[in-house]
Amino acid sequence: MKITIGGFDGMHLAHTELIKRSDAYLVIEKNSSLTPFFDRIEYDSRMLDLMILENIKHLSKDEFIDILKNYKIKEIIVGFDFKFGKNRSGGIDDLKKHFKVEVIKEIYFKNIPIHSNIIRNLLKNNDIKKANLLLGHNYKIKGVQIKGQGLGSEKFLPTINLELIHNYTLPQGVFLTKTNGFDSITFIGKRSTDENFAIETHILSSEFRVPSLKLINIEFLEFIRNNKKFDNLKELKKQILKDKQKALKILEECNT
């Protein structure tokens, strides 16, 4: 069996370059915030196993290699900077003593090195389009529906309020999104109405009625605007309607 090993947080273009050469991939989970835990199998279902870094970081490089031998591995594919074992004491030369090893050089997209940290920074700076290009797919967060203030359906637009199931990297502002596959606009940040942090999404279809959903997926397509502080509900409602019109215009332009 041919495998690749890594953190694979993001399942970005560099990760998929490793995975597509392999029969399976072994994940070292270390507080991932782009594609944590089994979110990864949405992008490639051939996962071999998931190890929690906290549970194995005490292992020496030889102890870690002994674990790898249990998987009946014939060849390992790793990135150029792969390290393993306690204090990152093991490297590619140590793997080569026991396995056939293929080393993949650093991968770029239009002169940008593809790394999870770079993608996190792009998301924090609301550069959604560039983050998605490096990922090779739309950035996605997941959560469960929670009760909101109740103002949306009464005074503004009906929204689904989200509580995250993992500690995802979050952009903040208003975004064009897809919520469970439906075109939507999503707000992330402190609400003007009560100063509490919130994730709220509004489905753009006029025929859509907010159901009771167990799991909500939000994909980020494009940044619309930064958060603002509004002095009154009238100003807030006016801005929300502008956000909706801008989102609809973007979608119209994409479809023409």
Residue 78: its pLDDT value, please?
96
Task: Calculate what percentage of the chain has a pLDDT beyond 90.
Answer: 75
Task: Determine the topology of domain 2-113 in CATH.
Answer: Rossmann fold (3.40.50)
Asked whether the beta carbons of 180 and 217 are under 8 A apart, the reply is yes
Task: Return contacts of 22-28, CB within 8 angstroms, 24+ apart.
Answer: 22/46, 22/77, 24/48, 26/50, 26/51, 26/68, 26/71, 27/51, 28/53, 28/56, 28/84
- Angle, helices 128-135 vs 116-124, to 10°: value is 160
- CB-count exposure of residue 103 (10 Å: 0-12, 13-18, 19+): middle
Q: Helix, strand, or coil here: 68?
A: helix
Confidence of residue 233 (pLDDT cuts 50, 70, 90): confident
Amino acid (one-letter) located at 135? L
- Helix (H) or strand (E) run with residue 82 in it: none
Residue 224, φ and ψ in degrees, nearest 5: -105, -55
Asked whether the beta carbons of 193 and 154 are under 8 A apart, the reply is no
Asked whether the beta carbons of 181 and 138 are under 8 A apart, the reply is no
Residue 196: its pLDDT value, please?
86
pLDDT tens track for 33-90: 999 999 999 999 999 999 999 999 999 999 999 999 999 899 999 999 999 999 999 9
Task: Determine the topology of domain 138-254 in CATH.
Answer: Elongation Factor Tu (Ef-tu); domain 3 (2.40.30)
Confidence of residue 186 (pLDDT cuts 50, 70, 90): very high
Per DSSP bridges, beta strands 100-104 and 108-109 are unpaired
Domain-by-domain residue ranges, the chain?
2-113, 138-254
List b or e across 218-255, with b for residues whose CB sees 16 or more CB atoms inside 10 angstroms. Answer: bbbbbbbeeeeeeeeeeebeebbeebbebbeeeeeeee
Residue 193: its pLDDT value, please?
73
Average the pLDDT over 161-178 and give the result.
96
When computed from its CA atoms, the radius of gyration of the chain, rounded to whole angstroms, is 21
- CB-count exposure of residue 191 (10 Å: 0-12, 13-18, 19+): middle
